[in-house]
Amino acid sequence: MQDKRQVAQGGDRTQDGNRKESRKNQILFQRPDNRLRRVTVFCCRINNVDRQFKSGQNLISELGVAPGETVLDVGSGTGLLAEFTADTVGITGAVMGIDPLPLRVELATRRSRSNLNFAVGDAKDLSSFPRASFDVVYLNAVFHWLHEKITPLRQFNRVLKAGGRLGITPRLSTFSATC
C-alpha cells in the first residue's frame, strides 16, 4: 500500500535514482490582531538509506531556496546542510543555524563564513531574531524531537517574512501526517 501511495503522490526520482515523495500543505496562523496568515509548508522524504543529508538537500530544492535569501536552519547539528544551503543562497544571502547542543554548534562553527553563522538556540524561543527576518525556515529530521510543537510553530511564523516558506522533513523512517 505504501508503494502505491508514493507513486500516486508523484513517484519522482532524485538525481541518483531514488524515489522521493513530497507534499505541499498550507497552515493558517492567527496573528495577535486576529488576522489569519497562510504559510506554505513543504514536507519531503527520500525513501532510502542515504538518509538525512540527501533528505535535507531535497527539502532545500522543494523550498526553492534562491540566491539572496535569508534562511534559518533549526536543529542545524554540525552544519553540513546549512553549509550546502549557504552555497545555494550565495554571498548575497545568509544562513543562520541554531542547535540546542553547544558541542554541535562548536563543530558547526568551523564551517562559518560571511554568509553562514551558528548559535546555540532553541526552536521554542527565537526572540533573538527580529520579526519577519527570514525568507525560509527549515527543520531537517528535527520536528519529531520537539515535545511541544505549537510554540515552535508560532515562533517560525513570527520570524518568517510575508510569503516566507517553512520546510519540515519528518522522521526519516516514517512519513508524518502532522505536516
Cα→Cα distances 84→79, 101, 111, 132, Å? 9, 21, 10, 23
Question: How many CB atoms neighbour CB 10 within 10 A?
Answer: 12
Three-class secondary structure of residue 46 per DSSP = strand
Alpha helices (H) in the chain, listed in sequence order: 2-8, 52-63, 80-89, 102-109, 150-159
Average pLDDT over residues 20-45: 58
pTM, two decimal places? 0.72
Tell me the per-residue pLDDT of 101-112, one tens digit each, with 9 for 90 and over: 999 999 999 999
Res 30: pLDDT: 56
Q: Which CATH superfamily is domain 16-169 in?
A: Vaccinia Virus protein VP39 (3.40.50.150)
Percent of the chain with pLDDT over 70: 67
Domain boundaries defined on the chain: 16-169
Name which residue leads in pLDDT, 143 or 86: 86
